[in-house]
Chain A
């Protein structure tokens, strides 16, 4: 079964930067879009970003646009989320999810999720 493993979370001060990584296995990584979804403590799911299989298209939630950057290295089966200008409201568990298709689009959904990595933004 498809496996995803996130890393890179931790405690960071407001205004700081952090890069999350997510490694995929047991599936052909280069063929699928990859997405990030976060969940603030005690709150619901909040979609953050998605990158297509080729890496040619990237999508962001308005709340992170201009501050977060998604990228991928399919030779390493890894997707990244570079988070800059972090704010207290970015505190959450960040989940990496495999997209069901090549593209991030209306015809796709997130079918496998990692266990998440906790990001805490606090002084």
Chain B
């Protein structure tokens, strides 16, 4: 069981928008910034978003993030086939004194 909760999968047609939710608690998301990682099939995870809504250099602006209370979300607009991947949310947990992850959400482009 993951500390952070994500839906197992989401799917949408090309060009549409999808949103992935990530739910935690006061000891992690409630108190700390959320990071999102993208893992393409057979590849290592890659930093997608940090500090809730900041994009690393080179990441498409089609990705956006938000946080409210103990929940966060990642949105992908203008969905493309190259966005098919697993997406993980993460945050530092003050009780566990380490990072925790969500179980991952598989995005499928129909």
Chain A residues engaging chain B, CB cutoff 8 angstroms: 35, 37, 44-47, 50, 59-62, 95, 100, 104-116
Contact = CB atoms under 8 A, between A and B. Distances in A.
Given A45-B88, A45-B104, A60-B98, A116 B47 contact: no
**Which has the most chain B C-beta neighbours within 10 Å: A35, A37, A59, A107?**
A37
Contacts of A35: 99
Nearest to B28: A106
Interface of B: 2, 31-33, 35, 37, 39, 44-47, 50-51, 56, 86, 88, 90, 92, 94, 96-104
**Which has the most chain A C-beta neighbours within 10 Å: B2, B45, B88, B90?**
B45
Contact of B100 (A47, A59, A112): A47
Contacts of B31: 106
9 contacts: A37-B45, A44-B88, A45-B88, A46-B101, A62-B96, A106-B31, A109-B35, A109-B90, A113-B46
Contacts of B37: 45
Contact of B45 (A61, A104, A105, A113): A113
A110 B44 contact: no
B23 to A, nearest CB: 15
Contacts of B33: 106-107, 109
Nearest to B37: A45
A59 B56 contact: no
Contact of B104 (A44, A104, A106): A44
